[in-house]
Structure formats: C-alpha cells, structure tokens
Chain A
Amino acid sequence: MIPKIVAVAAILADVLLYVYFTAQRLDRLHARVDAAAAALDAQLRRRSATAAVFAARVPLSPYLALALSGASAEATVVTGLGHDREAAESALSRALADVAAAAPEVFVAATGAGTEMHDEALRAAFARRFHNDAVRDALVVRDRRLVRWLRLAGSAPHPRYFEMDDEELPSPAFSLALRP
C-alpha cells in the first residue's frame, strides 16, 4: 500500500515540477515576445521617419521621391503589428527597393542620408527576424498538449508572426582606399 502511495506522490511531484518550470518558461517567453514586438514597432517607426527625410534629401526622380514619401507617410499612420501594418511596411520596403534598383549609388555613399537609411532598414529587418524567432519559440511551448490542457499560457495573447518584405539594400561602401 505504502509503495503505491509513494509512486503516486512521485508522479504528482513530477507533474507539479513540470507545470512549475513550464509556467516559468512561458512567462519568460512571453516577456521576450513583448519586448521584441515593442522593439520591432519602434524600429519600424524609425525606418519610416528616416525614409521621409531620405526622400526629401537625396536627389531622386520625382516619381521615386513621391512614391517613397507616400509609402513612408502611410507606414507612419498605421499602428499595431497587424495585417494593415504588414501591408504598409511592405509597401515602404518595395519603395526603398525601387530606389535601390534605380539609383543604388545613393546607398553606397560612405556617409550621409543613404548610410542612415541603410542602417535603419537593416535594423528593421533584424528586429523582424528576432521578433519572429521569439514568437516561434513561444508557440512551440504553447502548442504542447499538456500546456493547452492545463492552460499554462494563462491570459497571455497568442503571439503572431510579423510578415513583410525586407529585401536587403545595397551595402554602404567599405574603404576601398585601403586597397593598393
């Protein structure tokens, strides 16, 4: 009789430990998703603000300048990280890609607005990748059967990937002068 009680207690202790550690782990994962989402949102804001300045400051054809400033203005007004934001940010990425295709030299200049634009676009691409990594890590744990049955995720909202176009822009110049 006693061994049976011991066995049951041991199993119960195991389950409790699992629940305890998994709940803690989920807490950490949700915190990481929130922080990554806030960072992504802030970085996308910076990118669109920089694009507006870039469109005004860099010599571009009227069509490209208008398309870029229009796309950055639209990206600026959308909030949250939902489908409409994805569409607006993708449109901004495409406007930047059009500039890169027509006038790659504006990004390749070693200093100035082109470099700044390149940096902000790169940070935005990294922020999106790291955000989606955080979402994926959280979803893997949330989707476990025991986690769903026991509702270990609590009231934390279901994390969502953020999808957008973010093709890399031409790199700023490295110092070719160093080469003989």
Chain B
Amino acid sequence: MRVGLVSPYPWDVPGGVVAHISDLAEALIARGHDAQVISPVDDDEMDLPSWVTRAGRSVPVPYNGSVSRLLLGPVSQARVRRWLHDGRFDVLHVHSPETFSLSLLALGNARGPIVATFHASNPRSRIMAWMQTPLQVYLEKLAGRIAVSDAARKTIVDHLGGDAVVIPNGVHVARYAGARPLPGWPGEHGAVAFVGRLDEPRKGLAVLLAAWPLIRRKRPGLRLLVAGPGELDADVPDGVTVLGQVSEADKARVYAAADVYVAPNTGGESFGIVLLEAMAAGTPIVASDLEAFRRVLEDGRLGVLTPVGDPVALAGAVDGLLGNADRRTALIAAGNHAVSRYDWSVVTRQILRVYETAIAASTGRVVEEQDGVDTAVLGSHVAADNVVE
C-alpha cells in the first residue's frame, strides 16, 4: 500500500506527534508498505530519512504562553501538490488537521481516501470557535478519523462535531524492554528519572524539583536523572543530573536507569506516551492524577497516582514506592503485560484496517484537488495552535 503521511510540526523539533509519525512510517515500511512523509523542516542542513520530503520552514508565532509553529505559503502549497502528484498514494493520512498547519493545507489540496489522526485533547480556543464552520468543510473530506485516546475523541465529539475510532499511540516495546541502564545508574542509593521538556510548565518538572528536597531528606543518597530539551531556569539542585536532549536509544536507557519514573505533569496531556515507555522499560511509575494518565495507568493498577501539582504528596508517593520493593515488582509485571497492546505491531495493524476501510469507502486513489485551497485563503484564516504533545 502507498501511504502519504503529513506532519503538522517541524521534523527537527522533538515532540510527540512527530515521533508518532516517524514511528508509524517506519512500522509501515517494515511491513513492506511504501510510506512517505511530508513535513516542515526548520534546519536546511538536517539529514532526513529518504522517505521525508521538506515542505519548507515553519514560522514561529507566540501564542497562549507557548510558541506555535505555522507553515503556510505558496512554496509549501506547491511542494504539497507536487508530493501528492508524485506520491500516487492509495491513502493520505494527515495528523492534527485541526491545527492551521501543513496538515490542513494538504487536506485542502487533496481528494480521495483521506484519514486523519487527532492528537490533542484541547484544541478549543476562541479562534477555533470562530473557525469551526470553515474548518468543518475541510474535515468533511475525511473518510475516517482516528483519536489517540478517549480524551482526544471527546474533544472531537464536543468541539469539532463528528466521532472517531480510538487507536492509541504506539510504543516500540522491544526497544525499551531491551535497554540497559546508563553506565553508573541507578547506583547504590537508587535513582528516579524524569523525561520531558524542561521549560514546559505543564510537564511539571517544577513540581518534582519542589518535592526533591523532601524526598532527599529521607533518602540522602538518592539521585534524580532529568532528560529532555529546553532550558532549566533554576539552579540544578544537589543530586540532580540534567542530561538535556537525548537520542531515542539513550532515552530508553534513562528509563532503565531509574528505580522509579516520575511524571509530575500538570495538564495538557491527551495520552501519556512517557508512561508507556517507562512501562516497556520495566520502570515503576509515580504520576499525576490526570484523566489521561489515570486511563493509561488503569486507575492506579499500573502505577501510583498522586494529586496534580502537590509536591508534598508527590514526595510521599516517591518515597513510599522506593521503600516498597514488592509493590515495585508487582507494578513492573503488570506494566509489562499491559503495555503489549500498545506495541507498534498491534497499533499499525489497527491503522492498516482504518486505511483499508477508508479506501473501500472512496473512489480511486489520492489526487490533487483541482481547485485546491489557496494558501492565501488558508492564510486569512490563520490561527495559532498550541503545540501540546
């Protein structure tokens, strides 16, 4: 099958959606399908896999306390149309088409079997409300819609109209299960780990750093391993090692390096891929009691849940789990079992069933829309979206 995948966010800015598209493309190619990706790419020098096509650079727009990256312009439109023409795709798969990005541009310029995956759990904004009617006309072209979680599906039902099938994010279970700890970790006094953007408040590193002195008071030798892009705007406290951004392979080793993985997020999560990665790596979890996390952790059966944004409770939960080896062993076993249904082999299979269903409900393959939506029209509708992973 020839599959065209469209990324709304720059390929060289790490994030959940881009990682999902990259993993999906690799999984499709591994199964003998021909998958191609078109994506914004900010760095002209960057080496790309042969199956990624550059759509141009994105334009950063500050919005709602975070930076959104938009990609609109005649150059991008011409590249998308050429890519559609040359690709001769059996199915087109756009990601987060509710963002005003390359995905929506591709949707406006294509016809045929098109499916979309909705990643966000809260795309609602004033601009979204104002844009709903024009957006609806584009979304009507979709033969099938996928939501990555129940929360993402609820957002579609409540705010965009329509419904979606739920297919979760995938994780390469074997890649994490086989990872060895980083050398020297966890060490004789044990370690905990955090993975996520350092300067994104919703990832909750500040909550963990506030809890850190309380945890260390009880466990003086304990170390904290922090991995993720961004700047830490505080001094690095005692016992904390900040690695910055790490490769995919090293990320797996970060999880493996810890006795407990901490997800202190305060919101904005529609899924919680970090939890699956930690489960796959065999690291027991302490996580905020967010709706999305509660679902992945099955109401606490697969990990310890603590109140959101409460450093004292978080410290207590981390200390408690570190002091209870039996509980950790039980959580590791339960997590290992539960994570297997999120393995990319399972998820890809379900996505292929969506492709087949969309193809059966459409005529012909994907072609360029004759009077494709002009970027000027789309540009006049420009709305910033939040980059939420």
Contacts and interface: CB of A to CB of B under 8 A. Distances in A.
Interface of A: 25, 28-29, 32, 35-36, 38-40, 42-43, 119, 122-123, 125-127, 129-134, 136-137, 140, 171-172, 174-176, 178-180
A71 B367 CA distance: 41
B145 interface: yes
Nearest to A126: B357
A134 B345 CA distance: 29
A172 B363 CA distance: 30
B66 interface: no
A112 B343 CA distance: 21
19 contacts: A28-B140, A35-B361, A39-B361, A40-B361, A43-B360, A122-B353, A123-B356, A126-B144, A126-B357, A127-B357, A133-B142, A136-B161, A136-B163, A137-B136, A137-B162, A174-B346, A175-B345, A176-B340, A178-B173
Contact of A171 (B142, B144, B346): B346
A45 B197 CA distance: 49
A143 to B, nearest CB: 12
Interface string B174-198: 1001100000000000000000000
B143 A130 contact: yes
B301 interface: no
Contacts of A123: 353, 356-357
Contact of A178 (B165, B174, B349): B174
Given A25-B140, A119-B353, A140-B161, A174 B343 contact: yes
Interface of B: 136-137, 139-145, 161-165, 173-174, 177-178, 336, 340-341, 343, 345-346, 349-350, 353-354, 356-358, 360-363
A156 B47 CA distance: 52
A180 B358 CA distance: 37
Complex A-B, nearest 7 residue pairs according to Cβ-Cβ distance, in ascending order: A39-B361, A178-B174, A39-B360, A126-B357, A36-B361, A174-B345, A174-B346
Contact of A130 (B139, B174, B358, B363): B358
A130 B139 CA distance: 13
Nearest to B352: A119
A125 B165 contact: yes
Contacts of A179: 173-174, 177, 336, 340
B341 A171 contact: yes
* Interface of A, helix, strand, loop or mixed by DSSP: helix
B179 to A, nearest CB: 10
B367 to A, nearest CB: 15
Nearest to B356: A123
A24 to B, nearest CB: 10
B341 A174 contact: yes
A127 to B, nearest CB: 5
Given A35-B362, A136-B163, 18 more contacts: A36-B361, A39-B361, A42-B360, A43-B357, A123-B353, A126-B357, A129-B163, A130-B361, A133-B142, A133-B163, A136-B162, A137-B162, A140-B161, A171-B346, A174-B173, A174-B341, A176-B340, A179-B177
Contacts of A175: 343, 345
B173 to A, nearest CB: 7
Nearest to A42: B360
Contacts of A174: 173, 340-341, 343, 345-346
Contact of B361 (A25, A29, A131): A131
A129 B165 contact: yes
Contacts of B136: 137, 140
B165 A132 contact: no
Contacts of B343: 174-175
B1 to A, nearest CB: 14
Contacts of B357: 39, 43, 123, 126-127, 130
A180 B353 CA distance: 29
Contacts of B346: 171, 174
